[in-house]
Amino acid sequence: MGFGFRDLEVWKKAVKFAEAVISVSENLYTEKKHFRLVENLEAAVVSVAANIAEGKGRYSKKEFVQFLYVARGSLYETVACLEIFKNRKWIGETEYNSLLKDAEEIAKMINGLISSIR
């Protein structure tokens, strides 16, 4: 049995993005008292790839599109968290801009996939 989501370029990119964000979160310049914010960031970024995979495993295009909407929402949540972290100087401008560029590309890919399915 194969997993069709593994063939999707957007899923592959979302996994790499999650790995990059998690790596950044492991080196944040913050006190430990903000661990829930870090956990929220990590949960949001993992949710992008997870929802793409779950949606691909559904039996209808309508359900797949709904999970892609959720994945896109999680991507936006991730970007919002990164913006806050940048503003608090927990991550640098260069790291933020690099991750934002990747997020923008993933958003375009998700939107394109939604359009191709509908």
Separation between Cα atoms, residue 39 and residue 63, nearest integer Å: 28
Place of tokens 């590309």: 105
Residue 27 Cα distances to 1, 37, 40, 101, angstroms: 38, 14, 15, 20
Say what the pLDDT of residue 22 is.
96
Residue 111 identity: N
Query: Per-domain residue ranges for the chain?
Result: 4-117
Separation between Cα atoms, residue 42 and residue 19, nearest integer Å: 9
Separation between Cα atoms, residue 35 and residue 73, nearest integer Å: 22
Say what the pLDDT of residue 1 is.
60
* CATH number listed for the domain at residues 4-117: 1.20.1440.60
Say what the pLDDT of residue 4 is.
83
Q: What is the pTM of this model?
A: 0.93
Say what the pLDDT of residue 32 is.
65
Angle ∠(66,14,83) on CA atoms, nearest 5: 95
| Blockwise average pLDDT, block size 10, the chain, 118 residues | 85 98 87 82 97 92 96 98 94 96 98 92
